[in-house]
Amino acid sequence: VNLNDYRALFLVVVSGLALVAVSPIIGVVLPESGSERFSEFYILGPDHMAEGYPFNVQSGEMYNVFLGVENHMGGSKYYRVSVKFSNGTEFLPDLDNGVSSSLPPLYEYRFFVGDGGVWESAVSFGFEDVVVDGDVLSVGTVVFDGVSFPVDISAVWDSEKDGHFFVLFFELWHYDPEYDGFRFDDRFVGLWLNMNIS
Amino acid sequence: VNGDIFMVSWSRLLVITIFFCLLIAFSISSVYSLSEVDTVEIISEAEDALDVAYEAVSKAEQVGADVSGLWNRLSLAGEYLAEANVKYRVGSYENADYFAGLCIEMVSGVKGEAIELSSGATRQNEIDFFVSLFWSSVGVVIVGVTGFMLWIIFRRRYLERILKMKPEVVSGES
């Protein structure tokens, strides 16, 4: 090992130590490397597990589930969840094109979630004024979190699956300051329901 | 003649009654629709107030301000606004007005507080930056000077050692 090799070694060690000394400033100047940003949207059954979801429902009964949103967007977010009810064959969101359902919302939640934080709410729902006329079953009222919403939605008897099928679904929206309004987050969760009269 | 007078009185009474009935009906209708319009306006006002407050708090958070208290207020305001919209959809305009009003009340002043916290955090960030810059510079200078001195010492000792190893020329005997 000659003197030039020692010099190179010294330069490397001194440069490394200098880099350690300026690391606080480098941390301020360089932007943080971002991980994937997304919002998690989920629905859990009455036992707070991903099972036991209501399926066979009947008029006059109340059902419970849990709805949750987890924020991984890199900052606090302002969310809105719109609750909608459909007969399951039309007006569902088009996720391929990022378009929400054209149905008017019945109920809504508005909340703020910090980065990495979770919002969760217990949800109760039921149906009233359910009538059957031939092979068509109509729902007249949806009860959501104790509030009755008049609706007039019908489903024809599905002979393949043996039932009158409806879907209660929840759309996730988030506020976009650049858009100056809410944008559909391209996510929705729903409960397929086989409706029966009591 | 008495019969004619009697008929005229009854027909007048009938016209007056119909007139008042129509007047009341139109009055109620206009009051009802005015209330709905007012509700739409106050809900829209509450939405705008909440949006503006959210943007201000979000910006303050981005510069590192402690806005946890403001998030709690916004969350409550969001619940009120959602409640107002639900009440409006079921036609309970009075309750919708009430909850929209609560939302506006809850977010009033939030923007100002967020801006204040934001400017405080920005000032603190600037101070922190210059303190970091100062100590980093001091660190670099210390590392550089110490490294250079160590190198000088090392180099001298290295050369001395090399010189000691050098074979001495001894005058040969003939």
- Residue A31's pLDDT is 66
- DSSP characters for A40-83? EEEEE-TTSSS-----EEETT-EEEEEEEEEEESSS-EEEEEEE
Q: Dihedral sign for Cα A123, A124, A129, A132, please.
A: positive
Burial class of residue A61, CB neighbours in 10 A (0-12, 13-18, 19+): middle
Q: Which among A17, A24, A114 has CB closest to B71?
A: A114
A56-58/A181-196 β-pairing:
parallel
Residue labelled with tokens 């939405």: B47
Do A180 and B51 make contact, defined as CB atoms within 8 angstroms?
A: yes
B81: closest chain A residue by CA: A110
In the sheet that holds A164-176, the strands lie side by side as A56-58, A181-196, A164-176, A77-86, A107-113
- Banded pLDDT at B153 (limits 50, 70, 90): very high
Counted across chains A and B, CB pairs separated by less than 8 A come out at 88
Q: Could you read off the pLDDT of A46-71 as tens digits, one per residue? A: 999 999 999 999 999 999 999 999 99
The whole-angstrom separation of Cα A109 and Cα A79 is 8
Q: Which among B58, B78, B154 has CB closest to A110?
A: B78
Average pLDDT, chain A: 92
Q: What does DSSP assign to residue A180?
A: T
More confident residue, B99 or A23: B99
Start-end of H helices in chain A: 3-29
Top residue of A30, A77, A112, A143 to mutate, by most chain B CBs within 10 Å, is A112
Question: Is the pLDDT assigned to residue B75 strictly greater than 80?
Answer: yes
What are the residues of chain A with a beta carbon less than 8 Å away from any beta carbon of chain B?
3, 6-7, 10, 13-14, 17-18, 20-25, 28, 75-76, 78, 80, 104-112, 114, 147-149, 175, 177, 180-181
- Banded pLDDT at B27 (limits 50, 70, 90): low
Q: Could you read off the pLDDT of A113-168 as tens digits, one per residue? A: 999 999 999 999 999 999 999 999 999 999 999 999 999 999 999 999 999 999 99
